[in-house]
Structures are given as C-alpha cells and as structure tokens.
Amino acid sequence: MMLGVSAILWLIPAFSVLFGVTFATIAMAYKSEVAPRWATAGVVALAVAISADLAKPDSTELSLWVAGVGHWVAAGCMLQAMLVRHERSLPRIYLISIFALLVPIHLWSIWIGDVPPVRILAVNSGAFAIFALALVVCLRGPIDAFDKIMRSIIVVVLLLYPFRMAVYFWFPPEATPGGQLVSQYMLLIFTMVGILGVAFSMALLLAIGTDIVQRHRLDSEIDALTGIRNRRALNRQLTDANSVGGYGAVLVVDLDHFKRINDHHGHDVGDKILIAAARELDAKLSRFGTVTRMGGEEFAVLLTNENVAAGPALALSARQAIASVRLPDPHDQIEVTASVGLAFREIDQPLSDTLRAADLAMYHAKAAGRNCAFEVERRHGLLELRAVA
C-alpha cells in the first residue's frame, strides 16, 4: 500500500505544475484578472511543498521547512484566488498573525529542538487556521456552483487536518507497535489532502474560465460609445426565457433631428449628445427597467412588470430626460428633444412584438410633430394610438 500511495502522491506535483502553466497562461492572456495570478502562485507552492515532503526519509532541515511553509503558502494563495473572484479577500491581519506565531515555532522544531511532534502540530494547525478563515469569509455574500464545490472541499480538508494530528499524537509511529501501519495511514491522509488540492485546482480553473467567458459576454453587450447596454444585450433579453417574463412594457426613445445636429455641428458633437442622452436615461429610468441603445440615436427601455402602471409617466420622464441634455460652451445652445413610443405587453405576447409596437408608437409621435410621447394598446384586436399627457 505504501508504494502505491507514494506513487499517487508523486503525481500531485506533476498535476500542480500543469495547473500552474495553465493558470500562468491565463494570467498573461488576461492581465486584468487577479484570480489566475493567485492560483498560479498557489499551485506552484503546492508542487514545491509536496515535492519537499516526498524527500523523506532523506529530508534535510531545509526541505522540511520548505514543505511546511510551502503548505501554508499554497493554501493561502489558492484560497485567495477563490475569494478574489467575488472581490473578497483573506484578512491580512489574521494571516500575518498565523505566520508570525507559527513560523518561529516551525523553525525551532526543525533546526533547534528537532521535535517532530511540534513540527507536525505547527504545520497542520497553520493550514487548518488558514482554511477555517477562508471558510468564514466565503460564507458571506453570494456564491456560485463552483464556490459550493470548493467550499465542500474546504470542509473535508478541515476535517482531515485534526484527524491526521489525532492519529499522529495518539499513535506515535516511533512508539506504537505496528508503527509502520500508522505511518501508512498518515501517508494516506496526506495523499487525500493532496488529491483534494488537485480537485480544488480543477474547480478553481473552471470557475476562473467561466468568469472570463461571462465577463467577455457582458463586455460584448455594452455599447462602446455610451457605456449602457447595446443591441446585442437587447436581443438576448428579447429571447431569454428567464428574463422576458419579467417585462410588461417597452419604451422606444428616438432623438429628434439628430441627423441635422450631426450635419451642422459634426459627429463629435453628435457623439457627446448620445453619451449625455444615455446617461440621463439611465439615471432616470434604470431602476424601473433595462435601458439599452438600439443603435444610432434610438434607445429602448424594457419596463419590469411592477412598473407597467407607471408606463405613461415614465414615457414623459424619458422625454424630459432628453430635454435636459445640455453640452458645455460653445455648444450649450443646442436643444435636444425626443419622440417616445410606449407599448404594453399582452399576455403571452413575444416581447419582440411589444418592441415593434412601441416603435410604431414612436413613429406616430414623430408624425405628430416630434417632442412628444404616444402609447399604443390593442383593443378588440386593433391597435389604438393616443398621446401621453
């Protein structure tokens, strides 16, 4: 059994190196991502620590020290990588306290006192404290499926550390009949911790990869000019089965005579107006629904079900928001207005149909002289248009 377990244990540094290369590649490719950097440091420290531990029975004082401290560094870095995904962190003061207390004890147990039980106690107590601290932190705030997996691994590891210490102190290998069997069980527990470290690395890799994909998707749904959601985001919301049920009305807002502004003042000024218009709409209406730029000078606001009754008032708010747009001198005399269309969603009606109806109402507002709002409602199978006042 000893030979088989040792062979498995030697695979852990190899897997850790592979994970390290993968995390490092991700960190270099996505320099804004913090988690891959912590993960790289963690799995490299894990590979070094286990390799140093496997040097037994020919261990030197240095390899014993590297194995112990490397164990703590690996745990701290990998757990930090898990937490920074959600902008959380291991409290530095507690980490400093753990290292300040246990590193001198660990050093003394190796180079001065040569007391293996103290070394075992220090290494396992330090790792236990770091994992327990991470568990407390990750219990706060929202978690995803990968966090649940990693949290489960943390709980199992927390159970293994005291069990390993209990086996060692209750049945000291050098003082227990059949001590070789106890050593084998100690090695088995150590191997389990290493395997859990590899499993944690895999879950962390999948979590970081998912984060990057989701962030890129969100970035692709942000309008580069105005900073609000773009047509891609709107199209996804129109088809997303999880979101369309939450919207009960649609506003379409189109800036009046925008081509004239571009022709007379230049596209730079037009872009500034679009940015200001998006900012005003988002500030005034985002709490009532989702504000998007459909393209050009046209915006859409998907109103949530609880705000449907306020639809007419919100249509007027949208028009007033655009009217409040002012640019600094020398373009402070430019007046911006908008035509607004409002459509209420019928039961089981596709949200895209509601958007088209709101677009129709907006064009009716244009035809009525611009700088006004119209709503459309279906009555007895016919569309009824009326001004919002």
Q: Which residues pair with 382 in a beta bridge?
A: 379
Q: What is the second-level CATH architecture of the domain 2-220?
A: Up-down Bundle (1.20)
Residue 140: exposure state from Cβ atoms within 10 A (0-12, 13-18, ≥19): exposed
Residues in Cβ contact with 192 at an 8 Å cutoff, skipping those fewer than 6 apart: 160
Q: What is the pTM of this model?
A: 0.72
Annotation says 297 is catalytic: yes
Give residue 57's pLDDT. 57
Q: What does the pLDDT read at residue 1? A: 45
Residue 260, judged by CB atoms within 10 A of its CB (0-12, 13-18, 19+), counts as exposed
Catalytic one among 280, 297, 298, 375? 297
- Retrieve residue 322's tokens: 């655009």
Other C-beta atoms within 10 Å of 278: how many?
Answer: 22
Q: What are the residue boundaries of the structural domains of the chain, listed by start?
A: 2-220, 231-387
- CB count within 10 Å of CB 234 equals 23
The pLDDT value recorded for residue 58 is 58
3-class secondary structure per residue, 203-225? HHHHHHHHHHHHHHHHHHCECCC
What's the CATH number of domain 231-387, 3.40.718.10, 3.30.70.270, 3.40.50.10490, 3.40.50.150?
3.30.70.270
User: What averages of pLDDT result for each successive group of 10 residues across the chain (389 residues)?
Assistant: 58 91 96 95 93 71 88 96 94 93 90 82 93 91 87 94 83 56 66 89 96 88 94 89 75 97 94 97 96 96 95 97 92 92 90 94 96 87 82
pLDDT at position 319, please?
97
pLDDT at 170: 78
